[in-house]
Chains A and B, each alone.
Chain A
Amino acid sequence: MDDTSKRTGGYGFETRMIHAGSQPEPVTGARQTPIFQNTSYVFYDSDHAASLFNLQTFGFIYSRLTNPTVAVLEERLASLEGGRGATCCASGHAAQILTFFAFMEPGDAFIASNRLYGGSITQFGKTFKKFDWTCHFVDVDDPDAVRRALTPKCKAIFVESLANPGGVVSDLEALSAIAREAEIPLIVDNTLATPYLCQPIDWGADLVVHSTTKFLSGNGTSVGGAVVDSGRFDWSVSEKFSSLSAPEPAYHGLNFQETFGDMAFTTHAHAVGLRDLGPAMAPMNAFLTLLGTETLSLRMERHCENAQRVAEFLASHPKVAWVSYPGLKNDRYHELAQKYLPKGAGAVFTFGVAGGFEAGLKVVESVNLFSHLANVGDARSLILHPASTTHRQLSDEQRQAAGAGDEVLRLSIGLETAEDLIADLDQALTATA
């Protein structure tokens, strides 16, 4: 058995996106995963309760930590990413806090791409400061810049496989080599690529985070997040990660690495992270996201096909200054996209309208099929002017670095008829004249 099939149990991606985690419910035989709309779980006796609270047996205590419906989604995402386990939570932002909370202490630092999704830049650069965590933003296209930014306090490198909204593709293999040298984990946000288009763990990622709100749920119904652990990072490699590999004061001196082995991170993320930070995923949201994962491959194929056609149309349009879509042959990330996203370059990208800020707003207001809103990864096509919305909190310099300048429009291409999307954009661009 090769390394990949060891991690997938020998079943293909499409089989796992339907079956992983969801065996028929044994009490009733229910085939679809039931929604366990339930807070708490009865103990057999006081000894059983003690075993559960000591983490000595498997089972449910309280839905802030674990819930049977959420657990099905966790197992499914772990399987699709080829990881050991997953922890679902209330949102993608919650997933990021939960991830860093596992091993960051006050005074610690980490490195992140300077072209992350704007919401992540604000969270890492502003809010994390309140925990005395420092994020060094670096141009991760330059491996030497990443190496130079590493300090003894750095505990992780964080990138997006496919960045929102700039169409930036990260060189995961090169970055994982730097992380390995530095003996710190590589964390990859795989939200826009989804595990169908990109498998970060295959390229050396140690942890993969998601906003499940986007393509995984796929219909714009449910906010949610997840962190998938590869199970491969040895938390006992240095004293930096003592919360996971030394007696944990928040758990009666339990050593998570020693006791749970490759399950240490996921166990800690539930038993300490979700327990004390509290951002549990609602079971209804887990259910709706599970429905989305069942059709992930089919949807992503069509999302990518439509996005490629729309991007090619825009690239040839006289009112368009530029298009940043790694699926285009002359795009600066085309080569990396072919390596890391061989099935398609995703469906979220940006373009610049000739005529700048005013022309950009005019397009947003003239489209009929594209919904003007702040989300991506929906069955519907979406449009947004990042400079005035999602990236508003950033400085001009940060906006430029993130590919969200004044003239930039972000599209999230949906599953509609491609010709209709093209016609709608064409009439809106014409209206800018």
Chain B
Amino acid sequence: MSHDTYPNSQIRRILGNTQTIAMVGASPKWNRPSYFAMKYLLEKGYQVVPINPGHAGETILGQRVYASLADVPGPVHMVDIFRNSEAAGAVVDEVIGLAKDKDIRTIWMQLGVRNDAAAARAEAAGLEVIMNRCPKIEFGRLNAELSWGGFDSKVITAKRRRLTAG
């Protein structure tokens, strides 16, 4: 399958069916991109579990940090990878091994992160893969918030959006 573009409907479905996101490479520093994304996704009602072996046992934005995905108790619907494209491969293999146990459905690689070989392995194992995108930006784009900053959301509709709580 092509990973150059994703239909809005696919991104909407994934973001709508996900409750818990494990963020691999989450940083405790306030000015890092992962911190921005984690804070935003928490505000939008997602449960976000930070994964970072260097900070295991600490908390980021009030959420306990785990050393690895395998240590996370309970289900994880999406794994959001804040690592470089090469390192993403090993994370994907780990996810494939844990997917059934943890109810993992989606592997999401951040903006600038793309590993087609790893994506093919994940898809063969029944996982859905999004690459080179940010869930924060996509959530904002599809809910007209990105537009507030002057960006082209590429969403064109004459339908009135229903306001959601939060």
Residues of A that sit less than 8 Å from B by CB = 1, 6, 8-9, 11, 15-16, 19-21, 23-24, 26-27, 29, 31, 48, 51, 54-60, 66, 68, 71-72, 74-75, 78-79, 83-88, 252-255, 258-259, 261, 263, 266-267, 270
Contact = CB atoms under 8 A, between A and B. Distances in A.
Contact of A85 (B31, B40, B112, B152): B152
A422 B153 CA distance: 44
Nearest to B161: A26
B152 A78 contact: yes
Contacts of B156: 9, 11, 15-16, 19-20
Interface of B: 4-5, 30-33, 35-36, 39-40, 43, 111-112, 134, 137, 140, 144-163
B31 A252 contact: yes
Given A16-B156, A24-B159, A55-B36, A266 B31 contact: no
Nearest to B44: A57
A281 to B, nearest CB: 11
A363 B82 CA distance: 67
Contact of A23 (B40, B146, B149, B161): B161
Nearest to B156: A19
Contact of B40 (A27, A56, A266): A56
A254 B31 contact: yes
A267 B146 CA distance: 11
Contact of B149 (A26, A29, A252, A266): A266
A78 B151 contact: yes
Q: Which of A26, A58, A88, A270 has the most CB of B within 10 A?
A: A58
A7 B160 CA distance: 24
A26 B160 contact: yes
B158 A24 contact: yes
26 contacts: A8-B154, A9-B156, A11-B156, A19-B158, A20-B152, A23-B155, A23-B158, A24-B158, A24-B161, A31-B158, A55-B36, A58-B149, A59-B148, A66-B148, A71-B148, A71-B149, A75-B151, A86-B150, A88-B150, A253-B31, A259-B31, A259-B32, A261-B134, A263-B149, A266-B150, A270-B149
Nearest to A65: B149
Nearest to B38: A56
A51 B160 contact: no
Contact of B5 (A1, A23, A84): A1
A90 B136 CA distance: 30
B148 A60 contact: yes
Given A20-B156, A57-B43, A66 B161 contact: no
A1 B112 contact: no
B111 A261 contact: yes
A6 B5 contact: yes
A27 B163 contact: yes
A88 B149 CA distance: 11
Given A56-B39, A266-B149, A29 B5 contact: no
B147 A59 contact: no
Given A19-B158, A51-B40, 19 more contacts: A9-B154, A9-B155, A21-B147, A23-B157, A23-B158, A23-B159, A24-B161, A56-B39, A57-B145, A58-B148, A58-B149, A60-B148, A78-B152, A85-B150, A86-B150, A254-B31, A259-B31, A261-B111, A261-B134
A56 B27 CA distance: 14
Contact of B150 (A51, A55, A66): A66
Contacts of A31: 158
A88 B39 CA distance: 28
A1 B7 CA distance: 11
Q: Which of A55, A87, A263 has the most CB of B within 10 A?
A: A263
A57 B112 CA distance: 20
Nearest to A86: B150
Contacts of B148: 58-60, 66, 68, 71
Nearest to B43: A57
A75 B40 contact: no
Contact of A261 (B112, B159, B160): B112
A87 B154 contact: no
6 tightest CB-CB pairs across the interface, nearest first? A9-B154, A74-B150, A58-B145, A78-B152, A85-B151, A24-B160
B146 A58 contact: yes
A29 B160 CA distance: 6
A76 B160 CA distance: 18
Contacts of B154: 8-9, 79
Nearest to A261: B111
B16 to A, nearest CB: 18
A84 B149 CA distance: 11
Q: Which of B30, B112, B134, B150 has the most CB of A within 10 A?
A: B150
A188 to B, nearest CB: 18
A134 to B, nearest CB: 30
A8 B5 CA distance: 13
